[in-house]
Amino acid sequence: MPIGTGTITLLEVMAEIGGLGTSSSLGLCIGAAILKDYHPTYFQSPATSLLEFRGYDKARTVYAESLGYSASSSAAACSAGTATYYTIGSATWTSSTGIFTTSAGTTYAASGWYEQGGFWKRWDATTGSFIGAGSC
Q: What is the pLDDT along the chain (136 residues), one digit of tens a residue?
A: 789 999 999 999 999 988 887 777 899 999 999 999 998 889 888 889 999 999 999 888 999 999 999 999 999 999 999 999 999 988 999 999 999 999 988 899 999 999 999 999 999 998 888 999 999 9
**Rounded to a whole number, what is the distance in angstroms from the first to the last CA of the chain?**
39
Cα–Cα dist 26/107, whole Å: 21
- 3-38 CB burial, b ≥16 within 10 A, e <16: beeeebeeebbbebbeeeeeebebebbbeebbbbbb
What is the C-alpha R_g of the chain? 16
CA torsion, points 68, 77, 133, 52, in degrees to nearest 10? 60
Q: What is the pTM of this model?
A: 0.79
